[in-house]
Amino acid sequence: MAANSARKLLPFFIVIDEVTTVYSRAELTWATEATPRAIFNLHPRFWGWVKGEGTVGGVLADMISASLNINVCTNVHSAACIEKAVINWMLQVFGFPEENAGGLLVSGTSIATIISIATARQRMLVNVRNEGLGNSSNLVAYASTETHGCIIKAFQLLGLGSDALHFIPVDETFCIEISALRTAIREDREKGLKPFCIIGNAGI
């Protein structure tokens, strides 16, 4: 039977043609519109942001990960074991005591900042999980004027308010002015405020 005759007798050929056409258009759109305008991180020497330029190995790893669809709700899956191993490496690198130190691998800087500030808040407001932020109005923290914008958002999301974040000037090398930091802490304590966190920056 000729192909054209089969197409007339079997309607699914029409569907296949339509799907093929859709995919062809999608591929053309992806190649001409999406890829060149994605986020400009496709060059192999692009190091400007956290994301890499994309590699074949990364494609294969994501494909395998999506196929396995690992659930990490317990601590016995491979992903959780890898996280524990990486955290233990970090403890060794930074010289933290392994018996009472730990950490998490998270999706990026913003969520890591929220978790870190929440941890510092927990030390000052021990019962915050039950009592809420009733006693948080006098908490203050410090960061340099060069700190990332996600810090302010974290204070807002955690209910501390952006006014609780006090910015300290930097020197000519963009390091926080320690003398200005000491002065700010002393003056805030004299006002009855409670310093609970100093946020440091690393890198360039």
Question: How much is the pTM?
Answer: 0.66
Contact predicate 51/58, CB 8 Å: no
Contact predicate 42/51, CB 8 Å: no
Pick one of 3.40.640.10, 3.40.50.300, 3.30.950.10, 3.40.50.1370 as the CATH number of 106-198. 3.40.640.10
pLDDT number for residue 197: 95
pLDDT number for residue 2: 47
Tens of pLDDT, residues 62-106? 888 888 877 767 777 777 888 889 999 999 999 999 888 888 888
Give the bridge partners for 143, in sequence order.
Answer: 167
pLDDT number for residue 165: 96
- The two beta strands, 194-198 and 165-168, are unpaired
SS3 70: coil
Domain parsing of the chain, residue ranges: 3-44+52-68, 106-198
Please identify every stretch of the chain with a pLDDT value under 50, giving residue numbers as ranges. Answer: 1-3, 6-17, 19
pLDDT number for residue 53: 57
pLDDT number for residue 128: 83
Q: Which residues contact 128 (CB under 8 A, 6 or more apart)?
A: 121, 122, 136
N- to C-terminal Cα distance for the chain?
69
Structure token digits, residue 63:
């494909």
Contact predicate 110/133, CB 8 Å: no
Give the bridge partners for 195, in sequence order.
Answer: 140
pLDDT number for residue 24: 58
Written as one letter, the residue type at 7 is R
